[in-house]
Amino acid sequence: MIHIIFNPKASNGKGFDKINELTAGLNPNECSLHNVLEITDLPAFFCQLSEGDKVYLTGGDGTLNKFINLLGDTTIKNEVYLYGSGSGNDFLRDVLGENNHGPVQINRYIQNLPLVTVNGHTHRFINGIGFGIDGYCCEVGDKKQKKNPGKPVNYTAIAITGLLFHFHAPNARVTVDGVTKEYHRVWIAPAMKGRYYGGGMMVAPSQDRLSEDGMLSSVVFYGKGRLKTLMVFPSIFKGEHIHHPEMVDIRRGHEITVEFDRPTALQIDGETILGVTSYTVKAPIPALV
């Protein structure tokens, strides 16, 4: 049996449409559909599956984030695949390359995931934590989607106007494995499990989500004025911002804490949390063999 878990809100509310692409050529009697928004006990869902059953998850990064947090520490014996039907698909971009929607088996990618603690609540994440203008873009984008449901949001345009006018860069303290640095005028300060976030921004080009050391990348884009930042910022889509060490600092570690001097929106795999002043991420340290 093939179980398809879908998110009707994915792809700007067109998530259900992608199911037809996935099930083309399959026997309808061998497929079972499940709305991820209606699943309250995902571990119990997997416990009732038969050996040999396969699960296909359709959606984007937000759907995948909801899936891993519902799953928790549950060990999965069945094969699980992701078929991209979201608006961002940064996870698939990372593991398969551009313009590839899968499906791809994700069992090994959803094990030993890092945790982020924000405002006293802990969440798993699979791509990255955005804090700064990336969180601001999600905040503005959410407002636009609420005002015009189903209409695509131009996050690049939001970022440009934010860099030029609306986003006020805070100062930050960033601690990586116990070593603290202070930064003035911080535009972004993400912690990354993968290379991409924000719908194609290669913010951590050297990050390997399957690295043996399990480390995350802390990236701080800081220091310069609006015009200089706007000139360099587009290079982040190709990972070329790292050629500007005077305004980009990347460190790797298992525990990262970022503290801003004013409340700012934060995003976890594209899901927005408002009014955040700090976050802490912890990556599992691989056991010594």
Q: Is the pLDDT of residue 289 over 50?
A: no
8 A C-beta contact, residue 180 and residue 114? no
Percent of the chain with pLDDT over 70: 94
Q: Tell me which of 91 and 11 has the higher pLDDT.
A: 91
Looking at residue 107, its pLDDT comes to 95
Q: Tell me which of 167 and 88 has the higher pLDDT.
A: 167
Q: Cis before residue 103, ω within 30 degrees of 0?
A: yes
Rg of the chain on CA atoms, in Å: 19
Q: Is the pLDDT of residue 73 over 80?
A: yes
Looking at residue 15, its pLDDT comes to 56
**How many CB atoms within 10 Å of residue 29?**
7
- Partners of 183 in beta bridges: 172
Tens digit of each residue's pLDDT (9 = 90 or more) over 185-240: 999 999 999 999 988 899 999 999 999 999 999 999 999 999 999 999 999 999 99
Tens digit of each residue's pLDDT (9 = 90 or more) over 25-43: 667 778 888 888 888 899 9
Q: Tell me which of 254 and 285 has the higher pLDDT.
A: 254
Note the pTM of the prediction, 2 decimals. 0.89
Tens digit of each residue's pLDDT (9 = 90 or more) over 102-135: 789 999 999 999 999 999 999 999 999 999 999 9
Tens digit of each residue's pLDDT (9 = 90 or more) over 162-180: 999 999 999 999 999 999 9
8 A C-beta contact, residue 61 and residue 32? no
Task: Give the least confident one: 83-92, 159-168, 251-260.
Answer: 83-92
8 A C-beta contact, residue 34 and residue 4? yes
Q: Using the Cα atoms of residue 129, residue 133, residue 136 and residue 140 in order, give the sign of their dihedral.
A: negative
User: Average pLDDT for residues 267-283, to the nearest whole number?
Assistant: 95
Domains of the chain: 2-111 (3.40.50.10330), 116-282 (2.60.200.40)
Percent of the chain with pLDDT over 90: 62
> Mean pLDDT over all residues of the chain?
90
